[in-house]
Amino acid sequence: MNWLSVYPEIVLLAMACVVAMVDLFVTDARRTPTYLLTQLTLAAVGVMHIGYFNSGLTEYGMQGMVVSDPMGHLLAFFACVAVMVSLVYARPYAGARDMLKGELFTLSLFSLLGVSVMLSANNFLVIYLGLELMSLSLYALVALRRDHAISTEAAMKYFVLGALASGFLLYGLSMMYGATGSLSIPRVFEVISAGAVNKSVLIFGLVFIVAGLGFKLGAAPFHMWVPDVYQGAPTAVTLMIGAAPKLAAFAITMRLLVDGMVGLAVDWQQMLIVMALVSLVVGNLAAIAQTNLKRMLAYSTIAQMGFMLLGMASGVVNFNTLSAANAYSSAMFYTVTYVLTTLGSFGMILLLSRQGHESEEIGDLAGLYRRSPWYALMMLVFMLSLAGIPLTAGFYAKLAVLQAMVSTGVNLYLWLAIAAVVLSLIGAFYYLRVIKVMFFDEPTDNSPLTAPTDVRLVMSLNGVAVLVFGLLPGGLMDMCKRAILLALAS
Count CA atoms closer than 13 A to 425's CA, side-chain side: 6
Write down the pTM of the prediction: 0.95
Per-residue pLDDT, 186: 92
The mean-pLDDT minimum among 3-7, 39-43, 241-245, 365-369 falls in 3-7
Q: What is the C-alpha to C-alpha distance for residues 405 and 330, in angstroms, rounded to an integer?
A: 10
Per-residue pLDDT tens for 94-142?
888 888 888 999 999 999 999 999 999 999 999 999 999 999 999 999 9
The mean-pLDDT minimum among 75-79, 208-212, 438-442 falls in 438-442
Per-residue pLDDT, 185: 93
Provide mean pLDDT across the span 296-315. 93
Split into its structural domains, the chain has a count of: 1
8 Å CB contact between 170 and 128: yes
Per-residue pLDDT, 356: 63
Per-residue pLDDT, 471: 93
Q: How far is CA 98 from CA 55, 339, 355, 436, in A?
A: 43, 27, 10, 34
Measured in whole angstroms, the distance separating CA 175 from the mean position of its chain's CA atoms is 27
**What are the beta bridge partners of residue 292?**
361
> Residue 317 pLDDT more than 90?
no
Provide mean pLDDT across the span 240-265. 91
8 Å CB contact between 177 and 183: yes
Per-residue pLDDT tens for 111-121?
999 999 999 99
Using CB atoms within 10 Å of the CB of residue 22, give its burial: 0 to 12 exposed, 13 to 18 middle, 19+ buried.
Answer: middle
Q: Which amino acid is at 361?
A: E
Per-residue pLDDT, 213: 93
Residue 358 — pLDDT band, cuts 50, 70, 90? confident
Dihedral sign (CA 396, 381, 253, 286):
negative
Which of 146-160, 327-341, 349-363 is modeled with the greatest confidence? 327-341
Residue 355 — pLDDT band, cuts 50, 70, 90? low
The enclosing H or E element of 63 equals: none
Per-residue pLDDT tens for 164-185?
999 999 999 999 999 998 999 9
Give the count of beta carbons closer than 10 Å to the beta carbon of residue 292: 17
8 Å CB contact between 217 and 301: no
Q: Which domain holds residue 155?
A: 3-489
> Residue 419 pLDDT more than 60?
yes
Q: Which residues contact 321 (CB under 8 A, 6 or more apart)?
A: 262, 315, 488
Cβ density class 332-342: b for 16+ within 10 Å, e for less: bbbbbbbbbbb
Per-residue pLDDT, 136: 94
- Secondary structure (H, E, C), 204-259: HHHHHHHHHHHHHHCCCCCCCHHHHHHHHCCHHHHHHHHCHHHHHHHHHHHHHHHH
Q: What is the C-alpha to C-alpha distance for residues 359 and 364, in angstroms, rounded to an integer?
A: 6
**What are the beta bridge partners of residue 149?**
none
Per-residue pLDDT, 321: 74
> Residue 429 pLDDT more than 80?
yes
Mean pLDDT of the chain: 91
Please provide residue 292's backbone torsions phi and psi, each rounded to the nearest 5 degrees.
-85, 125
> Residue 1 pLDDT more than 60?
no
